[in-house]
Amino acid sequence: MVKSRRKGNGMFGKTRKHSLNVSVDKYENDGWKVILAIIKDRELDLDEAWSVKQVDTLLSKWVDTPRNIDELMRVEKWTNLIIDHKSYTTTTKFKSMLHKLKHMALC
């Protein structure tokens, strides 16, 4: 008696468990969590006139939305640099810092 063998579809035949939109949303949510966590950890480094909520709102609005793990790491580095330089205190200083960061390699 000969047994019949079923051939599997392999890696490319499988369907995705989650759509791509779900993974993009995951990184976006993780980006906001990373920004808030960094700001809370470095609360003593913030300018006296600024609260954690104000800085979080500003950075969550203007820092790039991550779509993969590399962009998530970039968000973390951007947040640290912006807090180091306190560039969130004025609009012109903040926009010039964002322009520099977008054109700077953060390795």
Mean pLDDT check: name the lowest of 20-29, 39-48, 70-79.
20-29
Provide the pLDDT for residue 34: 92
Question: Is 85 a domain residue?
Answer: yes
Name the residue range of residue 57's domain. Answer: 19-102
Q: State how many domains the chain has.
A: 1
Residue 24 confidence (pLDDT) above 70: no
When comparing pLDDT for 34 and 98, which is higher?
34
In whole angstroms, what is the distance from residue 30 CA to residue 67 CA?
Answer: 10
